[in-house]
Amino acid sequence: MVIHIELPDGSKKQFPKGTSGYEIAKSIGERLAKDALAIEADGEVKDLNTKLEKDCKFKIFTYKDLGGKKTMWHTSEHILTQAMLKLFPSVKMAMGPSTDEGFYFDFESDRSFTPDDFPAIEKEIAEIVKKDLKIERKEIPVKEARKLFEHNKYKQEWLDEIEKNKEPATVYWTGDEFVDLCAGPHLPSTGKAGTIKLLRIASAYWRGDSKNKQLQRIYGISFKEKKELDEYIKLQEEIEKRDHRKLGKDLDIFEIVEEVGPGLVFWLPKGTIIKEALENWAKETEAKWGYKRVSTPMITKEGVFHTSEHLPHYKDSMFSPMDIDGEKYYIKPMNCPFHHMIFKARTRSYRDLPLRLAEYGWCHRYEQSGAITGLLRVRSMQMNDAHIYCTREQAVDEFIAVIRLHEYYYKMLGITEYSMELALRNPESKKYHGDEAMWKEAEELMMEAMKKSGVKYTVINDGAAFYGPKIDFQIKSVIGREFTASTNQIDLFMGKKFGLEYTGEDGKRYTPVIIHRAPLGTHERFIGFLLEHFGGKFPLWLSPVQVRLMTVSEKFDSYANSLVEKMLEAGIRAELDNRSESIPKKVRDAQLEKVPLMLTIGEKEVEAGTVALRTLDGQVKFGLEAAKFIEQVAENIKSRALTFKI
């Protein structure tokens, strides 16, 4: 009996029933068989040696694929567990999955482990890898599995669930030395796990529930080659240096005050300058693109969110209501319904469309404490929001214009690594509102816009908003960290819910298409991204302090102060450092604060009416005419240039 498999390129092959994934890889090529780590059959990742019993869509995962890496990392976690049990037999293993960035192992122990223990553990890990022990999957009765793990309460709890589901227990043996309860998949042997590195240790609750026992957690990662690990470690060091939380503190950008609450950002003076510079740029740009600014309240009666259906759909992400005069009011988690109210407040004609309403609106969302991360996930945020109300005929061009606006912003900020994900609904899911015809039309409009725009995108099924398809813009910082910068939607649902109408050219009443867009996302997330992207070295126009003057002695302060005044008049953020410190010390301090332009003022500069310039990126120039320098800096700021050249 034969089975038919379909490969990723669409080609089909025929094999005897019971052929393993490894045998299929070998039939394609010896090199592929050597590099193969796991397979995917009809979307499910399985062990390489899995025997195929039916027709399927088939993939082979190697070290280059995330599926292959995650299989390697899963096995690396088992190897770590095996090493821990050999060195510390009293440790009770709990669980340890792979992640998209490595793996971790949770365990219970009376001993508190630290990174100082890592060298000994890594030495034992290397021995297990060197032995190239065979890894074998077995399905056994739950009763037999209970005997294997009779002294481990965590495994017994997992077995309770397996038994409840009336499933067999799956265990993996590593040679004859180690066995664990696990669904897999895993590598064929330990020798394929490469170089394993332990990264850090933390605490974690069993199953993520603070009511359960607190465990210890070791994080790690592995690579096929040691040089890949070395590159990873170097990148991690750069990531640590660019971490927006560290830079935010070092550069006095923002603060999170524990007494006030998690996810509530205090913008310090320098951070406020960055925030306002971005906001002013967006307002200036969007005015040229035909947007009208509005400002809306922070709270509303609950009826507004019942109309929008956010309350039944989005309630878990909203703060609890307030009782005001016997009525429930909610603080807004989004601006959309408020802009709809502005549209509804006046009689509208087709001549008024497209109507583009923009607001840097404050929103508050309830995020779980464990999900809050610096500026990237907060509870209070200010969003570069807008809603475009237009006719069906205008919708495609308006959405393309939204894409072009994103591209303009990204180009100006030197963001070259970005991608777009088109999220559509899953017709089988009940989470989506509206009828079939509405969704069909909305998705067709968006698909037409994407096609005409010429941009590349990937399609994500079952990722749409509950009221319409959306495009997510994913941007990458220079260190490769990916951020969801903005979400943009075509909405044929809310207009009907709110009773929004305009009079068409034929005198009939129509519901407008609504486009939701926020190219710069929230101040919080976007500035967090920019901190990491620029490493704190902002372009001149975004830098909180653009020029710092440093005098050799106090007798040159008068000249320096006169230059500061001229710079301030020219719209340059300049300040004087006249401390009784050496110039090298002043320069070093300015560099640590990421000040882009540093001017040294001494006797020669005063006599000649010049300045001596040092830039943060290492350019040095003496004898620059002060007036021309001020003019050049002002022009650079006005043009919002990415770099400054002498």
SS (H, E, C) 545-569: CCEEEEECCHHHHHHHHHHHHHHHH
Closest CA to 169 of 189, 152, 149, 187: 149
Predicted local confidence at residue 469, as pLDDT: 86
Mean pLDDT throughout 329-356? Answer: 97
Mean pLDDT throughout 516-521? Answer: 95
Predicted local confidence at residue 482, as pLDDT: 84
Q: Phi, psi at residue 180, to the nearest 5°? A: -140, 150
The architecture (CATH level 2) of 255-534 comes to: 2-Layer Sandwich (3.30)
Closest CA to 86 of 121, 58, 43, 39: 121
Query: How many angstroms separate the most distant Cα atoms in the chain?
Result: 96
β-sheet bridge partners, residue 468: 465
Is the confidence at residue 584, as pLDDT, over 90? yes
- Does the domain made of 82-239 have the CATH classification 3.90.400.10? no
Predicted local confidence at residue 429, as pLDDT: 62
Domain ranges for the chain: 2-62, 82-239, 255-534, 540-639
Predicted local confidence at residue 177, as pLDDT: 84
Q: How confident is residue 422, by pLDDT bands cut at 50, 70 and 90?
A: confident
Is the confidence at residue 530, as pLDDT, over 90? yes
Q: Phi, psi at residue 49, to the nearest 5°? A: -90, 10
Q: How many helices (H) and strands (E) does the chain have?
A: 20, 33
Residue 408's alpha-carbon distances to 456, 481, 513, in angstroms, are 16, 21, 24
Is the confidence at residue 318, as pLDDT, over 90? yes
Residues 6 or more apart whose CB falls under 8 angstroms from that of 559 comprise 601, 605, 606
Q: Computed over its alpha carbons, how large is the radius of gyration of the chain?
A: 30
Structure token pair of residue 473: 């813009």
Q: How confident is residue 434, by pLDDT bands cut at 50, 70 and 90?
A: low
Q: What percent of the chain has pLDDT over 70?
A: 99
Is the confidence at residue 460, as pLDDT, over 90? no
* Contact between 309 and 433 (Cβ < 8 Å): yes
* Contact between 594 and 251 (Cβ < 8 Å): yes
- Does the domain made of 540-639 have the CATH classification 3.40.50.800? yes
Predicted local confidence at residue 452, as pLDDT: 93
Residue range 21-30, pLDDT digits in tens: 999 999 999 9
Mean pLDDT, the chain, rounded, equals 93
* Contact between 168 and 142 (Cβ < 8 Å): yes
Mean pLDDT throughout 52-76? Answer: 94
Mean pLDDT throughout 105-131? Answer: 95
Question: What's the start-to-end Cα distance of the chain, in Å?
Answer: 76
Q: How confident is residue 540, by pLDDT bands cut at 50, 70 and 90?
A: very high
Q: How confident is residue 397, by pLDDT bands cut at 50, 70 and 90?
A: very high
The enclosing H or E element of 201 equals strand 195-205
Q: How confident is residue 303, by pLDDT bands cut at 50, 70 and 90?
A: very high
Same CATH fold assignment for domains 2-62 and 82-239: no
Residues 6 or more apart whose CB falls under 8 angstroms from that of 592 comprise 250
Predicted local confidence at residue 431, as pLDDT: 66
Predicted local confidence at residue 403, as pLDDT: 95
Predicted local confidence at residue 110, as pLDDT: 92
Computed from CA positions of residues 256, 260, 263, 264, in that sequence, does the dihedral angle turn out positive or negative?
negative
Residue range 225-273, pLDDT digits in tens: 999 999 999 988 988 899 999 999 999 999 999 999 999 999 999 999 9
* Contact between 135 and 173 (Cβ < 8 Å): yes
Residues 6 or more apart whose CB falls under 8 angstroms from that of 265 comprise 254, 255, 256, 375, 378, 380, 524
Predicted local confidence at residue 216, as pLDDT: 95
Is the confidence at residue 368, as pLDDT, over 90? no
β-sheet bridge partners, residue 135: 174
* Contact between 461 and 428 (Cβ < 8 Å): no
Predicted local confidence at residue 167, as pLDDT: 86
Residue range 173-204, pLDDT digits in tens: 999 889 999 998 999 999 999 999 999 999 98
Residue range 131-178, pLDDT digits in tens: 999 999 999 999 999 999 989 999 999 999 999 888 889 999 999 889
The architecture (CATH level 2) of 2-62 comes to: Roll (3.10)
Structure token pair of residue 48: 């390489």
pTM for the model stands at: 0.81
Neighbour count for residue 490 (Cβ, 10 Å): 27
